[in-house]
Structures are given as structure tokens and as C-alpha cells.
């Protein structure tokens, strides 16, 4: 049986990858910052898949050199998923150090152990920060753009390192790598911890804490499709050396509210605010400042590699939005 190393097994996307890997017959080794989380994690995972004898754990920190190479030894593939997700304002180092340092440590260990393929979970954040409104697999965030948030910098620097480092190696040392660049990921968590992306896209609308829909577009993808894309990218021959912008669709904020309203979540905003009102309110409400730049513009995404190479036909995101809302409700978070 082939064995896959997944970094950050406690994370929202990583746990979905682990579930699907086990369902597809792989053995999994996953890293955690602390092994104290193992029991809770096994409890959550075994509600969804029989993982007896299929998963092992190791303790690794993205900020620490210790243990990476020994942990990856014996694994056929690596999915490097772990990286801190803190949108908006934060200390640059709080994000860049673990994102870049973690990628460096994991990639070097994968190269040392000559794994068959290294799949990095990058992000749309490494693509969109360049002033454009239309994007494809080959676009890059411009690190000289002064408006970037630390998260965007962290994902761009880490993915740039991936490609630069691999290309700098002698051909005899090189391993196959690829990057998955998902937009905002929605859908229920397999643990009781709700991801930041679901909090941003869904929780804020459900609680009525945003009384109106700003006229902004959001690109979304179902977490199950994100996990499937990782596994296809790991195995598909032609995926090596490619980036995969991963999005199902781009919709207005009001479309998300409508989906939720039609499924019984009646507190969501029913009214789309005029752009001038959002601009005015952003003077007082800092969380609205991020929205101002996107007002009225619908971004256009071309996901050619996902369709042509991974052969994925994405279609679950409306259901994922509703299922996330139900989970937030069941966990009494809304």
C-alpha cells in the first residue's frame, strides 16, 4: 500500500484529504504540532471513515527543523497542507515565517527522501494580488504591491520558493512537484472546529452581523473537491510541474445569502447596499475596508488545468454552503 505524508492533520482541508486518502486505500502519516491532539482527531475522523491501522502521527512544527526528514522517510507522496490562515491584518512574520519556513523544511525533506510527488496547498492568494480582475493558472501575486496582506505575502513567497528551489536542483535530485491554488473553501469541517473560510463566507451572514450584502463577488469551492484535487494532482501523470487554480464559481455575496435564505436561514441580509454606503461605512468599520476595492467588480477565473488535466467537474458548492450553515447551527455557533 502506498503511504502519503500530510502535514497539519488537525487542519480543515488536511482532514478532508486524509479521509479521502484512506477511502481510496492509502496509508497516511500526518504531522501535528502536538501529539496531544491525536485522540480527539481519531475520534472525529472515525465518525467518517474506518481509520484503524491506516493512519500514524508524528510531531512537527513548521518553525522547527527537527524531525522532518525522519518523518517523511518511507512515504511515497507528500501533501504539504499546513500553513497558518489569518486573513486581514496580522504581523507579517507571524504568517511568513511558518508558511515559508514550513514549505522549505517539508520540501527539503521530501527531496532527501526522493518522494514520487510533492503537492503544495498554495492559494488563490498567490495569484490574485496583481491589480487584475481576470485570472488563470499562470497568474502571480505581485510582491511589490503595497496593498498586500500578510497572508497573501506568505502564500506567494512559499509557492515561489517551491518552484525556484525545484528548478535550482540538479536533475538527478529533482522530484515532481505541483501546487493547488484554491479560492475560498466552504463545506463542513470533519472536526468540531469551523474553518476561518466558513466563518468569513457563511457565519457572518447567518448571524445577521452584516445587515446588508456588499456588492462584492466571491469565488468559492467545496472542500471535498479541494481534497479530491490534491489526490488527483498527486497521481495524475500530467499534473507534475503545474499549478491548479481551483474554483467552482464566482458569485455575488447576495447569491450566498439567497442560497441560505432559501434553505431556511432567514436571518441573512436581504438587501444589497449601494457602493457609496459601503465606502462611507468603511471609514468607521475596518473589516469593510477589504471589501471596498472589490465593490461592483465580478472577478473572472479560468480554471483550465483543473478541467483539462485533473478532469474535475466541480458542482457541489451550493450544497456545501448549506451544509456548512447547518454545521454552524448544530455547533450553536450561530
Q: Rule CB under 6 A: is residue 63 a binding residue for ligand NAP? A: yes
- The least distance separating ligand NAP from the CB of residue 26, rounded to whole angstroms, comes to 19
**Cα dist. 228→168, 232, 244, 313, 321 in Å?**
30, 6, 12, 11, 18
Helix (H, G, I), strand (E, B) or coil at 75: coil
3-state helix, strand, coil in the chain (%, to 5): 45, 15, 40
- Is 247 one of the binding residues for ligand NAP (CB under 6 A)? no
113/123 with CB nearer ligand NAP:
123
SS3 306: helix
Under the binding rule (CB under 6 A), the answer on residue 85 touching ligand NAP is yes
Find the angle CA(59)-CA(61)-CA(64) to the nearest 5 degrees.
Answer: 120
Q: At what angle are helices 150-168 and 92-112 packed, to 10 degrees?
A: 20
CB of 277 to ligand NAP, least distance (A): 27
Asked if 119 touches ligand NAP (CB under 6 A), the answer is no
Helix (H, G, I), strand (E, B) or coil at 249: strand
Figure out which of the listed residues 121, 217, 219, 247 binds ligand NAP, where binding follows CB under 6 A.
Answer: 121
Window of 7-15, 132-140, 276-284, 313-321 that interacts with ligand NAP by CB under 6 A: 7-15
Residues in 264-303 that interact with ligand NAP by CB under 6 A: none
Closer CB to ligand NAP, residue 175 or residue 190?
Answer: 190
Closest separation between CB of residue 271 and ligand NAP, Å? 26
Stretch that binds ligand NAP, among 21-29, 55-63, 110-118, 227-235 (CB under 6 A): 55-63
Q: Which three cell numbers stand for residue 11?
A: 487542519
- Residue 172: CB minimum distance to ligand NAP, A: 30
Angle at which helices 223-235 and 317-330 cross, to 10°: 120
Sequence-ordered list of residues with C-beta below 8 angstroms from that of 332, at least 6 positions apart, any chain: none
Segment 192 to 211, residues that bind ligand NAP, using CB under 6 A:
195, 197
Residue 327 binding ligand NAP, by CB under 6 A: no
Angle (CA) 125-126-131 rounded to 5° is 75
User: Where in 145-164 is the site for ligand NAP (CB under 6 A)?
Assistant: 155
Applying CB under 6 A, among 30, 61, 113, 282 the residue interacting with ligand NAP is 61
Q: What is the DSSP letter of 248?
A: S
Give backbone dihedrals phi and psi of 217, rounded to 5 degrees, phi first: -100, 150
Query: Pick from 8, 129, 150, 269: which binds ligand NAP (CB under 6 A)?
Result: 8
Residues 6+ apart with CB under 8 A from 237: none
Phi/psi of residue 275, each to 5°?
-60, -35
Binding mask 20-49 vs ligand NAP (x if CB under 6 A, - otherwise)?
-------------x----------------
List of residues contacting ligand NAP (CB under 6 A): 8, 10-14, 33, 61-63, 81-85, 98, 121, 123, 155, 182, 184-185, 195, 197
Amino acid at each position: 500500500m502506498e503511504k502519503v505524508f500530510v502535514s497539519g492533520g488537525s487542519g480543515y482541508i488536511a482532514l478532508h484529504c486524509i479521509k479521502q486518502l484512506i477511502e481510496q486505500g492509502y496509508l497516511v502519516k500526518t504531522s501535528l504540532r502536538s501529539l496531544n491532539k491525536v485522540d480527539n482527531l481519531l475520534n472525529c475522523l472515525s465518525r467518517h471513515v474506518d481509520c484503524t491501522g491506516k493512519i500514524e502521527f508524528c510531531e512537527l512544527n513548521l518553525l522547527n527543523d527537527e524531525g522532518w526528514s525522519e518523518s517523511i522517510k518511507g512515504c511515497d507522496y507528500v501533501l504539504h497542507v499546513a500553513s497558518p490562515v489569518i486573513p486581514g491584518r496580522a504581523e507579517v512574520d507571524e504568517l511568513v515565517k511558518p508558511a515559508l519556513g514550513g514549505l522549505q523544511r517539508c520540501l527539503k525533506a521530501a527531496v532527501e527522501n526522493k518522494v514520487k510527488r510533492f503537492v503544495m496547498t498554495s492559494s488563490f492568494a498567490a495569484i490574485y494580488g496583481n491589480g487584475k480582475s481576470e485570472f488563470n493558472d499562470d497568474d502571480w501575486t505581485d510582491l511589490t504591491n503595497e496593498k498586500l496582506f500578510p497572508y497573501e505575502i506568505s502564500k506567494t513567497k512559499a509557492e515561489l520558493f517551491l518552484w525556484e528551489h525545484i528548478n535550482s536542483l540538479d536533475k538527478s535530485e529533482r522530484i515532481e512537484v505541483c501546487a493547488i491554488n484554491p479560492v475560498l473553501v466552504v463545506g463542513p469541517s470533519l472536526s468540531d472546529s469551523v474553518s476561518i473560510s466558513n466563518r468569513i463566507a457563511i457565519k457572518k451572514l447567518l448571524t445577521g452581523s452584516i445587515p446588508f450584502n456588499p456588492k462584492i463577488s466571491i469565488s468559492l469551492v467545496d472542500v471535498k473537491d479541494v481534497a479530491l484535487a490534491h489526490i488527483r494532482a498527486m497521481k495524475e501523470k500530467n499534473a507534475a510541474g503545474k499549478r491548479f487554480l481551483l474554483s467552482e464559481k464566482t458569485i455575488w455575496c447576495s447569491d450566498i445569502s439567497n442560497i441560505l435564505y432559501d434553505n431556511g436561514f432567514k436571518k441573512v441580509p436581504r438587501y444589497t447596499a449601494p457602493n457609496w454606503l459601503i465606502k462611507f461605512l468603511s471609514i468607521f468599520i475596518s473589516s469593510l475596508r477589504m471589501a471596498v476595492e472589490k465593490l461592483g467588480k465580478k472577478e473572472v477565473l479560468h480554471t483550465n488545468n483543473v478541467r483539462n488535466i485533473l478532469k474535475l467537474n466541480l458542482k457541489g458548492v451550493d450544497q456545501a454552503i448549506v451544509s456548512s450553515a447547518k454545521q454552524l447551527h448544530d455547533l450553536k455557533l450561530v
